[in-house]
Structure 1
């Protein structure tokens, strides 16, 4: 089960309500959701953000990175 945590003092960029955002990490991808208006945001891992081989548009579409068992 994924543990979701509220972000104290955070304001939703969509509805501007405070203390309604919750954060969790799923498959090395950070997710944020507003419980008031259901606005969602996804952040790719830093390794994807820092990659020079991917275009900006491609980076925005990444929802996760497959890491095979070593």
Structure 2
């Protein structure tokens, strides 16, 4: 199966340094990139998702975890000693 060729916005060609000339597509489990301004061509195997745990961020934490981390103990110091 082949995906349509699409330009990558803001991408700079590693060979000719032209901006917005790189396009990408996938075919038979391989990702391809090429430049329409020069003869740059690259193929990369499509990486399979790993089973590694997702990095914890404030977005993917549960509400209870956020509440626990947001609670801070306040200790009042006596100015006299």
Q: TM-score, normalised by structure 2?
A: 0.54
SS of the residue 1:43 aligns to: strand
Q: What is the CA–CA distance in structure 2 between the aligned matches of 1:19 and 1:41, rounded to whole Å?
A: 16
Q: Offset of 1:2 from its aligned partner?
A: 4.5
Q: Which runs of 5+ in 1 are unaligned?
A: 51-70
Bigger proportion of residues as helix: 1
Deviates further, 36-45 or 3-12? 36-45
Task: Answer yes or no: is 1:3 the counterpart of 2:11.
Answer: no
Q: What is the CA–CA distance in structure 1 between the aligned matches of 2:43 and 2:37, rounded to whole Å?
A: 17
Equivalent residue for 1:18? 19
Higher relative contact order, structure no. (Cα contacts within 8 Å, ≥ 6 residues apart): 1
Q: What is the CA–CA distance in structure 1 between the aligned matches of 2:3 and 2:43, rounded to whole Å?
A: 16
Equivalent residue for 1:33? 34
Instruction: Count the aligned residue pairs.
Output: 48
Q: What is the CA–CA distance in structure 2 between the aligned matches of 1:24 and 1:45, rounded to whole Å?
A: 11
SS of the residue 1:22 aligns to: strand
